C-alpha cells in the first residue's frame, strides 16, 4: 500500500468515526422516543382490553408509587396482547424502561386446603375462594355438601378504588393440595406493570372455624374497597319441591336463606323477595355480615366493627319451587389510610354451644326475638336452656326421640299449675253463668241495680270480677316456653340425621314412608304418618279445650275445633318429625289434663233453671222507678 492510499484510509476512518460520534445523541433521543411510544402503546392496549381494571392511585400514594400511577388488572388475554405489542417493537433496545413493560402473566392455579372442619379451594383468578365443603354436614350417602351455589363466582372478589381484580391472575407457589396439621398460610400475589402489588393471604388452623384473610397493598395506598360474594349459598339439605300457599306447606316454612349481620350489637336476619336491596345505608358499625342457610352460616368478621354498606342481589334456585333462593352480597367501605385490609372468614355449622363460645352473638342466627321488649335476650335464654336440657336428656338416654318426649313432659309438668289456674279462672266464671243470666234479665232496665247485684254475687262466691280479663295470663306466661321448644326442635342441628324409631329415620325431616303417593301442598314429598297423628290429637285437644270456654259462642267453638288442625296439617308438609313428635305428646298431655281437671267443675254451658224453656219476656223484670 503506497503512502497516499494509507493516508486516505486513515482520513476515511476518522471521518466515519467523527460522523458516528456526532450522531450518537440523535440516536439516543430517537431510542428514548421509541421507548416512550412502546410504553404508551403497552398501557393503552391494557386499558382498552379492561377499562374497569385500571386503578388510578390517589395523591397520597408513596413516592415510588407516584412514578407508576396506574395499577392494571390485566387478564391472561390482555397479557397476550401486551406481549405481541412488545414483540412488534423490534426497534426498542436496552434503553426501554423495562419496569414499564407488563410482566408475563403467571399460570392460573388453584390450591385446595383441608382442615378438620372444611375443605376450601382457593383460585388464582382473583385470589378468591372458589369452593367450600363443610365436613359437619355429611349426607346419608356419606358425602359432604358444597356450600356455594355458583363455584365459578365463588366468594371474596376484591375491588380497589373501582378497579375490579376478579379477572386478574395472582401468582402462588403453594402446592395444589394442603392438609393442615399446624398453622398454615397460602399467599397469592398480583403485580402490575409498574411493580405495584396486591398480596392476598389466607391463614388456616387445624380445627378452627376461622380463616384469616389479609390483603396487603404494596406501592400504593387505596382509599376504598369492596368485597363481593357472588356465588351465593346453597342449601345443604333436601328441600321438598313445593311452593305451597303463602309459603305454608313449602320449603320456605322450615328452610332458611337469609342475609345476616350484627349492627350495633343487634343481630339482623333478612329474608326478602326484592331483586336488589341495600342495608346499613345509615352506616352503623357492623361486627360481621354474611349469609345463612338452615344449618350453616358463613360470615366476614371484622377485627373492629366498621360502617360497611351491604349490597345484595337475589339469586333464584332453578328446578325447585320450594327453595327460598339465595343472595349475592357485597361489602363496601373505606380503608382510612391503611395499606392492609384484614378480617376473619367464619365457617359456622349452627351448633349452639360452639358458636356461642365465639362471643359474637352468632347464636342469635339460630333464634332471636324482638328487641323492643327484650326478647332478643330473655327468649334466646329460654331457647338455650331448653336445648341444653334436650342434650342432657340425650346424654342419659341416647335417643333424641325419647329425649324430645321427656323434654315435652317436663315442660308441660312445669306449666301445668299455670294451666290449672287458667282453667279455674274461666270455669269459675262459667259456674256463675246461670245466676249472672238471671241478674241480666231481672235488672236489664236498671243498670245500677244490675251492677250491684253482680258485685254481690262475686263477693258471695269469692270470685274476682277481673278474672275474665286475667284468665289468659297464665297461658301468656307459658307461651314463650312452648314457642322456644317449637323453634329449638325445628332448627337444632343436633336432630339432623338422628334416627328415632321404626320408620322415623331422621328427626330433622318429615317421616315420609311412601314417596309414590304425594298430596300437593300438604305432603309434596310423599305420604307421612306423624302429621296425621298430630292432626287427630290436636282435634281432640281443641275440642276439649273449647268446652271449657263458656265465653265463646258455640259456632265459634265449632269453627276453631276444625280450623286449628287444618292449619297444622298445612304446616306439617315439611315439618321436622322431631317437632311433630313434640306436638303429638303435648296434645295428648293437654287432652288428659283437661279431662282430669274438668271433673271438678260444672258444665260450662249450664243455664239457670228459672230461664230454661222460658221466654225472656216472661221472666220477672225489675224496672227502674
Most confident of the ranges 87-91, 125-129, 457-461: 125-129
pLDDT bin (cut points 50, 70, 90) of residue 264 is: very high
The answer on pLDDT for 249 being more than 70 is no
140 pLDDT above the threshold of 90: no
Report residue 242's pLDDT band, with 50, 70 and 90 as the boundaries: low
Give this prediction's pTM.
0.74
CA atoms within 13 A on the CB side of 605: 7
What does CATH list as the number for 110-367? 2.70.98.90
Average the pLDDT over 414-439 and give the result: 77
Residue at grid coordinates 372458589:
130
Percentage of the chain beyond pLDDT 70 is 71
CA distances to 46, 401, 494, 585 from 502, in Å? 67, 11, 20, 17
At 596 the pLDDT is 82
What is the C-alpha separation between 263 and 270, in angstroms, rounded? 13
pLDDT of residue 474: 59
Out of 107-121, 129-143, 215-229, least confident range:
129-143
pLDDT of residue 416: 83
Do strands 177-179 and 296-306 pair parallel, antiparallel, or not at all (unpaired)?
A: unpaired
The cell for 190 is 398480583
Residue found under cell 342475609: 259
What is the pLDDT averaged over residues 332-341?
A: 92
Q: If 0-12 CB within 10 Å is exposed, 13-18 middle and 19+ buried, where does residue 611 land?
A: middle
Look at residue 323 and give its three-state secondary structure.
coil
Quick check: 98 and 86 in contact, CB under 8 A?
no
Between 518 and 188, the higher pLDDT residue: 188
Q: Is the dihedral of CA 58, 64, 67, 69 positive or negative?
A: negative
CA-closest candidate to residue 493, choices 292, 397, 349: 349
| Chain mean pLDDT for the chain | 78
Instruction: Give the rounded distance of the alpha carbon of 176 from its chain centre.
Output: 31
497, 143 Cβ separation under 8 angstroms:
no
* Cell numbers standing for residue 71: 395499577
For 417, the grid coordinates are 299449675
pLDDT in the model for residue 266: 92
- Domain ranges in the chain? 110-367, 387-598
pLDDT value of position 322: 77
Instruction: For residue 326, give every residue at least 6 positions away whose Cβ sits within 8 Å of its Cβ, in sequence order, or none.
Output: 149, 232, 233, 234, 257, 291, 293, 314, 315, 317
- Range among 8-22, 276-290, 485-499, 528-542 with highest mean pLDDT value: 276-290
Answer with the residue of higher pLDDT: 25 or 340: 340
pLDDT recorded at residue 201: 97
As a whole number, mean pLDDT of residues 559-568 equals: 78
- pLDDT score, position 274: 84
Question: How does DSSP assign 474-501, residue by residue?
Answer: HHHHHHHHHHHHHHHHHH-GGGTT---B
> What's the CA gap between 250 and 267, in Å, rounded?
26
Stretch (H or E) spanning 266: strand 266-270
At residue 87, the pLDDT reads 38
CA distances from 352 to 136, 364, 391, 496, 521 (A): 14, 9, 11, 14, 32
Grid coordinates representing 517 are: 303417593
Residue 345 CA to residue 362 CA, distance in Å, equals 14
Residues 290 and 263: beta-carbon distance below 8 Å? no
Query: What's the pLDDT tens digit per position in 342-352?
Result: 999 999 999 99
Contact criterion met (CB below 8 Å) for 530 and 504:
yes
Residues above pLDDT 90, as percent of the chain: 41
Mean pLDDT across the stretch 96-106? 54
Q: For residue 458, what pLDDT band results from cuts at 50, 70 and 90? A: confident
pLDDT of residue 56: 40
pLDDT of 508 strictly over 50 = yes
pLDDT of residue 48: 36
CA 43 from centre of chain: 43
**Residue 189 reports pLDDT greater than 70:** yes
pLDDT band at 98 (very low <50, low <70, confident <90, very high): very low
pLDDT of residue 47: 40
- The crossing angle, in degrees rounded to 10, of helices 554-571 and 530-546 is 160
Range from 61-65, 293-297, 354-358 carrying the lowest mean pLDDT? 61-65
Q: Quick one: pLDDT at residue 42?
A: 36
Q: What does residue 179 show for φ and ψ, rounded to 5 degrees?
A: -100, 120
CB 258 within 8 A of CB 271: yes
Using pLDDT thresholds of 50, 70 and 90, give the confidence band for residue 245.
low
Can you give the pLDDT at residue 352?
Answer: 95
Q: Are 193 and 103 in contact (CB under 8 A)?
A: yes
Separation between Cα atoms, residue 529 and residue 183, nearest integer Å: 50
Confidence label for 398 from pLDDT (cuts 50, 70 and 90): very high
pLDDT band, very low/low/confident/very high, at 451 (cuts 50, 70, 90):
confident
> CA angle at residue 620 from 617 to 625, to 5 degrees?
105
Q: Would residue 144 be called left, alpha or beta, if left means φ above 0 and alpha means ψ between -120 and 50 degrees?
A: beta
Amino acid at each position: 500500500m503506497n503512502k497516499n492510499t494509507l493516508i486516505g484510509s486513515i482520513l476515511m476512518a476518522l471521518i466515519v468515526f467523527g460522523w458516528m460520534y456526532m450522531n450518537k445523541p440523535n440516536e439516543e433521543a430517537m431510542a428514548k422516543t421509541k421507548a416512550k411510544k412502546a410504553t404508551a402503546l403497552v398501557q393503552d392496549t391494557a386499558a382498552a382490553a379492561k377499562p374497569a381494571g385500571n386503578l388510578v392511585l390517589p395523591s397520597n400514594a408513596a413516592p415510588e408509587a407516584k412514578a407508576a400511577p396506574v395499577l392494571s388488572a390485566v387478564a391472561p388475554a390482555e397479557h397476550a396482547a401486551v406481549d405481541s405489542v412488545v414483540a412488534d417493537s423490534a426497534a426498542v433496545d436496552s434503553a426501554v424502561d423495562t419496569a414499564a413493560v407488563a410482566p408475563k402473566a403467571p399460570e392460573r392455579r388453584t390450591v385446595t386446603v383441608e382442615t378438620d372442619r372444611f375443605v376450601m379451594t382457593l383460585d388464582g383468578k382473583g385470589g378468591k375462594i372458589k369452593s367450600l365443603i363443610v365436613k359437619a354436614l355429611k349426607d346419608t350417602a356419606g358425602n359432604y355438601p358444597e356450600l356455594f351455589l355458583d363455584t365459578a363466582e365463588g366468594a371474596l372478589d376484591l375491588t380497589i378504588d373501582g378497579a375490579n381484580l376478579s379477572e386478574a391472575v395472582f401468582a402462588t407457589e403453594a402446592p395444589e393440595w394442603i392438609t393442615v396439621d399446624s398453622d398454615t398460610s397460602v399467599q397469592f400475589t398480583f403485580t402490575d406493570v409498574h411493580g405495584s402489588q396486591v398480596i392476598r393471604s389466607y391463614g388456616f388452623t387445624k380445627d378452627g372455624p376461622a380463616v384469616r384473610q389479609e390483603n396487603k397493598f404494596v406501592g400504593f395506598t387505596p382509599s376504598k374497597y369492596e368485597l363481593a360474594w357472588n356465588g351465593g349459598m346453597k342449601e345443604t339439605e333436601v328441600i321438598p319441591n313445593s311452593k305451597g300457599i303463602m309459603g305454608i306447606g313449602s320449603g320456605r316454612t322450615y328452610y332458611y336463606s337469609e342475609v345476616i349481620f350484627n349492627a350495633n350489637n343487634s343481630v339482623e336476619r333478612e329474608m326478602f323477595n326484592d331483586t336488589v336491596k341495600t342495608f346499613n345505608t345509615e352506616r352503623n358499625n357492623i361486627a360481621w355480615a354474611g349469609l345463612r342457610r338452615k344449618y350453616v352460616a358463613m360470615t366476614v368478621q371484622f377485627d373492629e366493627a366498621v360502617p360497611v354498606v351491604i349490597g345484595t342481589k337475589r339469586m333464584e334456585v332453578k328446578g325447585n319451587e320450594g327453595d327460598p333462593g339465595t343472595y349475592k352480597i357485597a361489602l363496601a367501605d373505606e380503608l382510612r389510610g391503611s395499606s392492609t385490609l384484614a378480617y376473619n372468614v367464619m365457617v359456622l355449622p349452627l351448633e349452639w354451644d360452639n358458636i356461642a363460645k365465639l362471643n359474637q352473638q352468632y347464636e342469635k342466627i339460630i333464634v332471636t326475638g324482638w328487641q323492643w321488649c327484650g326478647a332478643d335476650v330473655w327468649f334466646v335464654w329460654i331457647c338455650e336452656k331448653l336445648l341444653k336440657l334436650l342434650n342432657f336428656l340425650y346424654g342419659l338416654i341416647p335417643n333424641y326421640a325419647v329425649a324430645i318426649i321427656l323434654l315435652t313432659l317436663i315442660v308441660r309438668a312445669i306449666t301445668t299449675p299455670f294451666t290449672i289456674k287458667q282453667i279455674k279462672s274461666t270455669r269459675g266464671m262459667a259456674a256463675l253463668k246461670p245466676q249472672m243470666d238471671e241478674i241480666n234479665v231481672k235488672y236489664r232496665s236498671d243498670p245500677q241495680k244490675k251492677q250491684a247485684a253482680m258485685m254481690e254475687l262475686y263477693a258471695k262466691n269469692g270470685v274476682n270480677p277481673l278474672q275474665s280479663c286475667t284468665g289468659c295470663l297464665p297461658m301468656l306466661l307459658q307461651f314463650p316456653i312452648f314457642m322456644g321448644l317449637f323453634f329449638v326442635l325445628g332448627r337444632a342441628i343436633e336432630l339432623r340425621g338422628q334416627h328415632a324409631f321404626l320408620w322415623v329415620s331422621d328427626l330433622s325431616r318429615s317421616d315420609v314412608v311412601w314417596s309414590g303417593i304425594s298430596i300437593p301442598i300438604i305432603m309434596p314429598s310423599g305420604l307421612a304418618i306423624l302429621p296425621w297423628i298430630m292432626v287427630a290429637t290436636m282435634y281432640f285437644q281443641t275440642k276439649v279445650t273449647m268446652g271449657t270456654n263458656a265465653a265463646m259462642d258455640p259456632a265459634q267453638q265449632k269453627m276453631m275445633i276444625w280450623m286449628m288442625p287444618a292449619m297444622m296439617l298445612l304446616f306439617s308438609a315439611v315439618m321436622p318429625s322431631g317437632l311433630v313428635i313434640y306436638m303429638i305428646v303435648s296434645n295428648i298431655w293437654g287432652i288428659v289434663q283437661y279431662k282430669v281437671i274438668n271433673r271438678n267443675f260444672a258444665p260450662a254451658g249450664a243455664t239457670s233453671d228459672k230461664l230454661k224453656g222460658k221466654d225472656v219476656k216472661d221472666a220477672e223484670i225489675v224496672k227502674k222507678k
